[in-house]
Amino acid sequence: MSQPVMFNGRLNKSESDIWVDLLNETSKTTFMDRDLTKQYLALPESISFVSSVENQIIGGTTIYRDRTRLSMVLVSVAMKEAYRESATYQIIKSSLPFFKTVAIRDVDVLVSSNDGSDCIGFPLSLEVEPWAIEAIKRVGFNKVVKIVQCSFEISQKYDNRIKWDNEPNLEGAKELIWDQSKPLGLTTSLVWLARDFAEDQGTLMTFTINDKVVGVVGLWQFRDSLTLSPLITDPEVLDWSQVAKAIVSEGVRSKAERVHLPIVGEGQSGLIEELDGMINLVSSRTLSLLRKPL
């Protein structure tokens, strides 16, 4: 008896509920906010695919085209457990480019070290659960660097607010990210994705000194928490103590009980040490950034 045929298809922007429901039903890495998830999926560069067997959706992927770094991000993989071993490799492979183009040179993916049940939540935490790691490696991804995700509980108050620019300086933010991403350990399209999404949602902020942007951040407030994504600063102008106090001050201003940092590079370890000395570190997770060159 022949095996059922698997069909792969791209979802329209109007079909985002299909992907949200699939992620919610199959993954422990659930979404932070349903409406925000749908707004992310509506971004022009966000593309969602689903795969079906006998008219039943069994899984899918979401990718993001980074037109700044000329790259792509494998943002999420969702799969019904019964099909994970047999279909994950093919579903991932079918959603990625087969060869290098002028617009896409490589693909990034962030993989968590646990099941993701304690993650911040999609789409501010863009990670794939570890059950997919073997299929991801088979497709041709290799580990590049470690990324840390941290959460802090605000226990003290600091008044060290940054006077953000009246309007975000988009070109200045772009220049800062280009200059600082390598020393901060954040040479990845995940940062550009976060910047694009924050700009789209009106949460992107920049801080300028002497006509030069030295800080860029996306400020996301949900209920009792404040998430900072992206978070890029110039350590030669703003030391980690200043940045840490500014983060806590933003948390206090927004009346948040917790502050989440979903993408922390190895070059930002000094910031985590400063925050840990000021407020309570309640969660620290290590994730692996993998890359597939095309």
Q: What is the pLDDT of residues 234-262, one digit of tens each?
A: 999 999 999 999 999 999 888 999 999 99
Could you give the CA distance from residue 88 to residue 249 in angstroms, rounded to a whole number? 44
Structure tokens at 140: 């041709």
Please compute the mean of the pLDDT values over residues 220-229 and round it to a whole number: 93
CATH assignment of the domain containing 167:
3.40.630.30
* DSSP-derived secondary structure letter, 81: G
Same domain? For 17 and 130 the reply is: yes
Give the structural domain span for 64.
6-146
Q: Is the dihedral of CA 59, 65, 66, 69 positive or negative?
A: positive
Please state whether the predicted TM-score (pTM) of the whole model is above 0.85: yes
List, for residues 176-201, the tens digit of each pLDDT value: 999 999 999 999 999 999 999 999 99
Same domain? For 181 and 141 the reply is: no
* Cβ atoms of residues 262 and 149 within 8 Å: yes
Count: domains in the chain: 2
Find where tokens 């998430």 sit.
Answer: 227
pLDDT at 1: 47
Pairing of strands 106-112, 142-153: unpaired
Q: Residue 140, Cβ neighbours under 10 Å: how many?
A: 14
Please check whether residue 102 lies inside any domain of the structure.
yes
